[in-house]
Structure 1
């Protein structure tokens, strides 16, 4: 089955390309049915025959949004897959164990109180302050959860989930207080973070996301065999030559970086890191050598599909994408709990 991995990846990528093309032509604004070749030509040559209004919708609204859905969906799915492999538990996803909540908390603090401490930060970092704050929040939450729930290489699932509940409760309390203090503009921004949306996508944000994901994937994507070995137990993995502590530390930092950046740009989008690994495990068992690279593509497919539905289902209004992913993820979460109960 491992020999078929390139075939699975090629088929998944083809499906992603088809969905991206379909999504490009869907929306409230109806433009002339330009061919894909014309659209690609417009990217490299602004002087094409496509009307300026069509060109703006294609290149400044829809295409950046599609690219952001692909990048964030991939990042969240890979983050969830890596955490589940590290904790050896299917419930270890960024949103369920509180990493997303920690990131959202620091983003909310920056939105409401950022003007009071921005003057103490170098001007070159002002544009990235929200991303940096979201990353720090995710890293602190991840470190806290790992330290409190792991002892002698074993993770207590109940403590891990309760830690997530505690962090989420704290986040909601502080965010509620910040909402009380916020202005109308800050309130709109806070609502955006809590429900999640790709409506603020831009090429600059996509560039930052692409760099973050490229750095993270340069280490994470090739660690499928290491995660397979860690599933046997950390001592066995060390005997096989896996630097367990080094792998775990990098997973903690890089998943926090990806989740933090995703939250900074798109708000809270849950369950992507739960749905994709669950589906892949049904097909490939717990073979992370296959699951990990496939999750990078299928996460993009899931979020791109959800975003296309969110902006077309009740057009011209838009359903927050976090609501749609929660509708998809909640039944799978319940299914995992039922399976976990039967295995006890």
Structure 2
């Protein structure tokens, strides 16, 4: 009987996802596939637009920048690719990546697959401060902008994200510890307050300001440039690179706060680190691209259905899939109504909402 035991274990079926019933994907395999897909999407997207650039010419231009001259390219194509499209696509990859991984981390913190960074006021705080900047032309941010070289609107948005998140975090602390359920309720109240303030500012705005508010509130990568990328990329890369280091602690935290504490996890430090990194990443993302919805909600949820709930896989895979989804959404936004451009938030909403509803309905059917 004992001799048969190893064969029985070897023949056991693979573990299956609770949500989908499919075999759980190995993290390395899934991340490798997403990396290849992201590179393909970037090369494909950079050649599509009002000025078409074939993929061989795209490769020739990119390789020419590192000294490998493999062909002759037109100067117009090179200018369009290097000055306009490449910084835009790189910014989209970073913004999508940080939205995806921040959403996964926030869902892990709240232990709720329906959570996203907006729940703790990051997006709404950035949005309302940007609207205040547009309508009231706050001089303090204009002065800081001239000193630092940043755009005033981006500074205002990032300051709003930091302020509202600090407010939510402070109000949620009780007896020296942060209560996650209280943080959720406080975040909902702060979101309602921010929406009311934004509505008031829109009521006071003139027609030109209303157009700016509407376009900014729905998100766009149209302001991408090498200067913007140079300033924003370090702050976007920090959460993408550091959050996966929290995966082991977040796996323990999924068992409950007391169990995580018994396993040696500093729960308060973990909560603080997740909130700081998510605020930094999402705040900067909103500051440079406006409010882009559903990436931080749908992408981590989809990754969990494919690979399971292990944060060693969920966090990096969410960053990669978020980058892919936003890059493709931006491609649609800038080509579907050429020569005009749709706000990217419209595209992510049209893709994200039906996808999320489908996953919810399918999940309810599986549980039944």
- Decide: shared fold, TM above 0.5: yes
Q: Name which one, 1 or 2, has greater alpha-carbon Rg.
A: 2
Matches within 5 A, 1:1-344: 4-31=26-53, 34-44=56-66, 49-96=72-119, 98-118=121-141, 121=144, 123-125=146-148, 127=150, 129-146=152-169, 155-156=180-181, 160=184, 163-182=186-205, 186-334=209-357
Deviation of the 1:221 alpha carbon = 1.5
TM-score, normalised via structure 2 length: 0.81
8 Å contact 1:32–1:54 — kept in the other structure?
A: no
Aligned-residue CA RMSD in angstroms?
A: 3.2
State how far apart, in whole Å, the 2-side matches of 1:208 and 1:224 are.
Answer: 28
State how far apart, in whole Å, the 1-side matches of 2:138 and 2:178 are.
Answer: 42
State how far apart, in whole Å, the 2-side matches of 1:23 and 1:106 are.
Answer: 32
State how far apart, in whole Å, the 2-side matches of 1:74 and 1:119 are.
Answer: 29
Which has the larger displacement, 312-321 or 331-340? 331-340
Unaligned segments of structure 1, at least 5 residues: none
Deviation of the 1:268 alpha carbon = 0.7
What are the Cα deviations for residues 154-189 of structure 1, in whole angstroms up to 9, with x where unaligned?
A: 6439x83x6555444433332233334446654443
TM-score, normalised via structure 1 length: 0.86
Cα distance, 1:213–1:129 mapped onto 2, change above 3 Å: same
Residue matched to 2:11: none
Q: Secondary structure at the match of 1:319?
A: coil
Deviation of the 1:192 alpha carbon = 2.5
8 Å contact 2:299–2:322 — kept in the other structure?
A: yes
Deviation of the 1:29 alpha carbon = 2.1
**Alignment coverage as a number of residue pairs:** 341
State how far apart, in whole Å, the 2-side matches of 1:319 and 1:119 are.
Answer: 28
Unaligned segments of structure 2, at least 5 residues: 1-14, 16-23
